[in-house]
Structure 1
Amino acid sequence: MEDNKLTIIYDGEEVIADILFTHYSEVTEKNYVVFQFSDRDEISAAVFVETEGGEGYFEDVQTDEEWEMLDELLENYLGDDQDDEEAQDDESDED
Protein backbone atom coordinates (compact mmCIF):
# COMPACT_ATOMS: atom_id res chain seq x y z
CA MET A 1 0.00 0.00 0.00
CA GLU A 2 1.29 3.45 -0.87
CA ASP A 3 1.75 5.92 1.98
CA ASN A 4 -0.86 8.35 0.68
CA LYS A 5 -3.54 5.74 -0.07
CA LEU A 6 -5.77 3.65 2.11
CA THR A 7 -8.28 0.88 1.59
CA ILE A 8 -11.68 1.31 3.20
CA ILE A 9 -14.70 -0.96 3.41
CA TYR A 10 -17.50 1.33 2.17
CA ASP A 11 -21.04 0.01 1.67
CA GLY A 12 -19.66 -3.52 1.92
CA GLU A 13 -17.07 -2.92 -0.82
CA GLU A 14 -13.33 -2.38 -0.66
CA VAL A 15 -12.49 1.04 -2.09
CA ILE A 16 -9.23 2.96 -2.45
CA ALA A 17 -8.97 6.50 -1.11
CA ASP A 18 -6.27 9.14 -1.45
CA ILE A 19 -5.27 10.77 1.83
CA LEU A 20 -5.50 14.54 1.36
CA PHE A 21 -4.15 15.45 4.81
CA THR A 22 -4.08 14.48 8.46
CA HIS A 23 -4.72 16.72 11.45
CA TYR A 24 -4.29 16.42 15.20
CA SER A 25 -6.67 18.58 17.22
CA GLU A 26 -5.49 19.67 20.65
CA VAL A 27 -9.10 20.57 21.46
CA THR A 28 -10.54 17.10 20.85
CA GLU A 29 -7.22 15.28 21.34
CA LYS A 30 -7.98 13.21 18.22
CA ASN A 31 -6.16 12.45 14.96
CA TYR A 32 -8.20 13.01 11.82
CA VAL A 33 -7.65 11.73 8.30
CA VAL A 34 -9.29 13.58 5.40
CA PHE A 35 -9.47 11.55 2.22
CA GLN A 36 -10.99 11.44 -1.26
CA PHE A 37 -12.31 8.27 -2.82
CA SER A 38 -10.19 7.45 -5.89
CA ASP A 39 -13.17 6.49 -8.07
CA ARG A 40 -15.33 9.55 -7.35
CA ASP A 41 -15.11 13.18 -6.23
CA GLU A 42 -16.46 12.43 -2.75
CA ILE A 43 -14.34 13.67 0.16
CA SER A 44 -14.78 12.36 3.69
CA ALA A 45 -12.97 12.11 7.01
CA ALA A 46 -12.48 9.75 9.91
CA VAL A 47 -10.87 9.69 13.31
CA PHE A 48 -7.72 7.56 13.44
CA VAL A 49 -7.30 5.72 16.73
CA GLU A 50 -3.74 4.45 17.17
CA THR A 51 -3.21 1.17 18.97
CA GLU A 52 -0.01 -0.34 20.34
CA GLY A 53 2.67 -1.11 17.78
CA GLY A 54 1.75 1.80 15.51
CA GLU A 55 -1.33 0.08 14.13
CA GLY A 56 -4.78 1.57 14.39
CA TYR A 57 -8.35 1.77 13.21
CA PHE A 58 -10.85 4.38 12.04
CA GLU A 59 -13.91 5.69 13.84
CA ASP A 60 -16.64 7.95 12.53
CA VAL A 61 -16.45 11.69 13.17
CA GLN A 62 -18.97 12.19 15.96
CA THR A 63 -19.97 15.84 16.31
CA ASP A 64 -21.05 18.77 14.16
CA GLU A 65 -18.23 20.80 15.72
CA GLU A 66 -15.68 18.28 14.47
CA TRP A 67 -17.18 18.35 10.96
CA GLU A 68 -17.12 22.17 10.97
CA MET A 69 -13.44 22.17 11.97
CA LEU A 70 -12.63 19.63 9.24
CA ASP A 71 -14.63 21.60 6.64
CA GLU A 72 -12.64 24.73 7.48
CA LEU A 73 -9.35 22.82 7.24
CA LEU A 74 -10.44 21.33 3.91
CA GLU A 75 -11.36 24.76 2.53
CA ASN A 76 -7.90 26.04 3.52
CA TYR A 77 -6.25 22.96 2.01
CA LEU A 78 -8.15 23.29 -1.28
CA GLY A 79 -7.53 27.04 -1.33
CA ASP A 80 -3.78 26.44 -0.99
CA ASP A 81 -3.88 23.96 -3.88
CA GLN A 82 -5.75 26.45 -6.08
CA ASP A 83 -3.26 29.20 -5.16
CA ASP A 84 -0.38 26.87 -6.14
CA GLU A 85 -2.04 26.07 -9.49
CA GLU A 86 -2.67 29.77 -10.18
CA ALA A 87 0.98 30.60 -9.37
CA GLN A 88 2.15 27.88 -11.78
CA ASP A 89 -0.21 29.22 -14.47
CA ASP A 90 1.11 32.75 -13.92
CA GLU A 91 4.70 31.54 -14.24
CA SER A 92 3.97 29.71 -17.49
CA ASP A 93 2.19 32.79 -18.86
CA GLU A 94 5.36 34.81 -18.29
CA ASP A 95 7.46 32.42 -20.44
Structure 2
Amino acid sequence: MLKDNQMVVTNQNGDEAVCDILFTHEANGKNYVVFEFVDTHEVSAAIYVPGETDDEGEFKDIETDAEWDMLDQVLQAYYDELDAEEEDEDDDEEESDEAKA
Protein backbone atom coordinates (compact mmCIF):
# COMPACT_ATOMS: atom_id res chain seq x y z
CA MET A 1 0.00 0.00 0.00
CA LEU A 2 1.27 3.45 -0.90
CA LYS A 3 1.80 6.15 1.68
CA ASP A 4 0.31 9.60 1.15
CA ASN A 5 3.60 10.97 -0.15
CA GLN A 6 4.22 8.14 -2.62
CA MET A 7 3.36 7.43 -6.23
CA VAL A 8 3.99 4.73 -8.80
CA VAL A 9 5.97 5.64 -11.91
CA THR A 10 5.68 3.43 -15.00
CA ASN A 11 8.58 3.57 -17.45
CA GLN A 12 8.52 3.05 -21.22
CA ASN A 13 8.88 -0.73 -20.78
CA GLY A 14 5.86 -0.89 -18.49
CA ASP A 15 7.97 -1.49 -15.37
CA GLU A 16 6.57 0.13 -12.25
CA ALA A 17 8.56 1.73 -9.44
CA VAL A 18 7.42 3.24 -6.15
CA CYS A 19 8.67 6.76 -5.51
CA ASP A 20 8.61 9.10 -2.53
CA ILE A 21 7.46 12.59 -3.47
CA LEU A 22 10.03 14.98 -2.02
CA PHE A 23 8.21 18.19 -2.93
CA THR A 24 6.28 20.00 -5.62
CA HIS A 25 7.25 23.31 -7.16
CA GLU A 26 5.34 25.73 -9.36
CA ALA A 27 7.21 27.95 -11.80
CA ASN A 28 6.49 29.52 -15.17
CA GLY A 29 2.92 28.24 -15.13
CA LYS A 30 4.03 24.62 -14.72
CA ASN A 31 3.72 22.24 -11.79
CA TYR A 32 6.82 20.16 -11.12
CA VAL A 33 7.07 17.13 -8.87
CA VAL A 34 10.47 16.05 -7.53
CA PHE A 35 10.63 12.45 -6.39
CA GLU A 36 13.03 9.75 -5.22
CA PHE A 37 12.85 6.12 -6.32
CA VAL A 38 12.45 3.98 -3.19
CA ASP A 39 14.62 1.10 -4.47
CA THR A 40 17.53 3.07 -5.96
CA HIS A 41 17.31 6.44 -4.13
CA GLU A 42 17.72 8.12 -7.53
CA VAL A 43 16.11 11.57 -7.59
CA SER A 44 14.19 12.73 -10.64
CA ALA A 45 11.49 15.20 -11.61
CA ALA A 46 8.63 15.62 -14.04
CA ILE A 47 6.02 18.15 -15.04
CA TYR A 48 2.61 17.31 -13.61
CA VAL A 49 -0.36 18.11 -15.83
CA PRO A 50 -3.63 17.84 -13.89
CA GLY A 51 -6.58 16.02 -15.39
CA GLU A 52 -10.27 16.56 -14.84
CA THR A 53 -10.01 14.67 -11.54
CA ASP A 54 -7.08 14.10 -9.19
CA ASP A 55 -6.74 10.53 -10.48
CA GLU A 56 -6.44 11.58 -14.13
CA GLY A 57 -3.31 13.72 -14.07
CA GLU A 58 -0.25 12.82 -16.11
CA PHE A 59 3.47 13.44 -16.08
CA LYS A 60 5.45 15.00 -18.90
CA ASP A 61 9.20 14.87 -19.36
CA ILE A 62 11.27 17.93 -18.55
CA GLU A 63 12.92 18.84 -21.82
CA THR A 64 14.98 21.99 -21.32
CA ASP A 65 18.29 22.49 -19.57
CA ALA A 66 16.92 25.71 -18.08
CA GLU A 67 14.16 23.78 -16.30
CA TRP A 68 16.63 21.16 -15.02
CA ASP A 69 18.96 23.93 -13.77
CA MET A 70 16.07 25.63 -11.97
CA LEU A 71 15.01 22.35 -10.35
CA ASP A 72 18.61 21.57 -9.35
CA GLN A 73 18.70 24.90 -7.49
CA VAL A 74 15.35 24.21 -5.81
CA LEU A 75 16.49 20.70 -4.86
CA GLN A 76 19.71 22.05 -3.36
CA ALA A 77 17.70 24.56 -1.31
CA TYR A 78 15.47 21.68 -0.16
CA TYR A 79 18.51 19.66 0.98
CA ASP A 80 20.01 22.74 2.69
CA GLU A 81 16.75 23.24 4.59
CA LEU A 82 16.71 19.59 5.67
CA ASP A 83 20.31 19.88 6.89
CA ALA A 84 19.46 23.01 8.87
CA GLU A 85 16.46 21.29 10.46
CA GLU A 86 18.62 18.30 11.45
CA GLU A 87 21.20 20.63 13.01
CA ASP A 88 18.46 22.40 14.96
CA GLU A 89 17.14 19.06 16.22
CA ASP A 90 20.64 17.99 17.24
CA ASP A 91 21.14 21.28 19.12
CA ASP A 92 17.77 20.85 20.87
CA GLU A 93 18.70 17.30 21.93
CA GLU A 94 22.06 18.46 23.30
CA GLU A 95 20.38 21.25 25.29
CA SER A 96 17.82 18.78 26.64
CA ASP A 97 20.56 16.34 27.66
CA GLU A 98 22.50 19.14 29.40
CA ALA A 99 19.38 20.23 31.29
CA LYS A 100 18.90 16.67 32.59
CA ALA A 101 22.49 16.42 33.84
Kindly report structure 1 stretches of 4+ aligned residues shifted beyond 4 Å. Answer: none
- What is the identity percentage for the equivalent residue pairs of Structure 1 and Structure 2? 45
**Which protein has the larger Cα radius of gyration, Structure 1 or Structure 2?**
2
> What's the RMSD between the two structures over aligned residues?
1.3
Alignment match, 2:22: 20
Unaligned runs of 5+ residues in structure 2 are none
Alignment match, 1:46: 46
Unaligned runs of 5+ residues in structure 1 are none
Task: Report the AA paired with residue 19 of structure 1.
Answer: I
TM-score by length of 1: 0.90
CA deviations 1:50-83 (Å, max 9, x no partner) are: 1212321001001001001100000000110011
More strand by share: 1
From the superposition, tell whether residues 53 and 14 of structure 1 become closer, same or farther in structure 2 (CA, over 3 Å): same
Q: Aligned partners of 1:18, 1:56: CA distance in 2, in Å?
A: 17
TM-score by length of 2: 0.85
Count of residue correspondences: 93
